[in-house]
Amino acid sequence: MAPVVFAPLVVMTLGFAWILAAIGVYFRDIGQIVPPLLTATMFLSPLFFPRTNLPAWLQPYLSLNPIAVPIEALRDIAVFGTMPDWAAIGYYTLVAIVVALLGEQFFRKTSRGFADVL
């Protein structure tokens, strides 16, 4: 089941990579901004703590983190041996596809000016 849960994360990562690659051509400092953002994303995800350790009012906001749903689903599969929340995986997959499509469109649209900048 892990590859089924992991696949949407790969699709979303591809979309973010296209967006960041296109922005990186025009703004060279993006390489300095991304590592701290990735570190913050990791520490603000349920990688080191379960969602239930947060206050109840803060738990819904954890799903805004792009790696929260796959981490929780993989934890359910690997650690607890239970099936993940398929509704959350379904919504995450739809969002991942939208991010990938938008990232591809953004990359295609901005790639016309790459030769002028480089």
Convert the pLDDT of each residue in 5-47 to its tens digit. 999 999 999 999 999 999 999 998 998 999 999 999 888 888 8
The 8-class DSSP code of residue 2 comes to: H
pLDDT above 90: percentage of residues in the chain:
68
Tell me if 15 sits within 8 A of 104, measured CB to CB. yes
The pLDDT of residue 91 is 96
What is the pTM for the complete model shown?
0.87
Residue spans of the domains in the chain: they are: 2-112
Query: Token pair for residue 66?
Result: 């792009």
Residues 6+ apart with CB under 8 A from 77: 1, 2, 5, 83, 84
Q: Which of 75, 69, 57 is nearest to 99 (CA)?
A: 69
